[in-house]
Amino acid sequence: MQKDLDANKSKWAAAAIAHYQFDYMYSAFSLNAGIWYTIEVNNGQIVSIKVVETQEAVTPGTLFVKTFDENFQAIQNASNAKANKITVTYDPTRGFVNAYYIDSAAGIADDELGISIKNVVIP
């Protein structure tokens, strides 16, 4: 897993993309789980979040949302912590994370979390 993470992180870094947008859904035991959001990132910062269905703006920092670089770090952190299960898929061209699922500990309920990404736009 570390080899794939490193290779895809390098691929994303080499692309040197500072401005991008994507649709994002968080899967966990949370009020915001299962809702698609459109996220805009510029220079490593989330600058805009909107609910896909309603286009209602959401204040950045109020949701569990990560930039592509932060997704790599979340996976690395889970690996370093020896999470029970980590499943990751990457974009084959640019290397960013398309989805991940992390189960931190076997036998503990409600600790699982995952994200899904689609509709990536690079202006």
Task: Check residue 109 and give its pLDDT.
Answer: 56
Domain hosting 89: range is 2-121
Question: Which tokens hold the place of 20?
Answer: 């991008």
The number of distinct structural domains making up the chain is 1
pLDDT digits (tens, 9 = 90+) for 1-50: 889 999 999 999 999 999 999 999 987 665 666 789 999 999 999 999 99
DSSP string across 29-78: SSTTTT-EEEEEEETTEEEEEEETTT--EE-TTSS----HHHHHHHHHHH
- Residue identified by tokens 């889970």 is 78
Q: How confident is the model at residue 91 (pLDDT cuts 50, 70, 90)?
A: very high
- pLDDT at residue 107 is higher than 90: no
How far apart are the C-alpha atoms of 69 and 116, rounded to whole Å?
15
Q: Who wins on pLDDT, 66 or 27?
A: 66
- pLDDT at residue 105 is higher than 80: no
Q: Who wins on pLDDT, 31 or 72?
A: 72
Of the candidate ranges 12-16, 107-111, 119-123, the one whose mean pLDDT is the lowest: 107-111
Task: Check residue 33 and give its pLDDT.
Answer: 67
Task: Check residue 65 and give its pLDDT.
Answer: 82
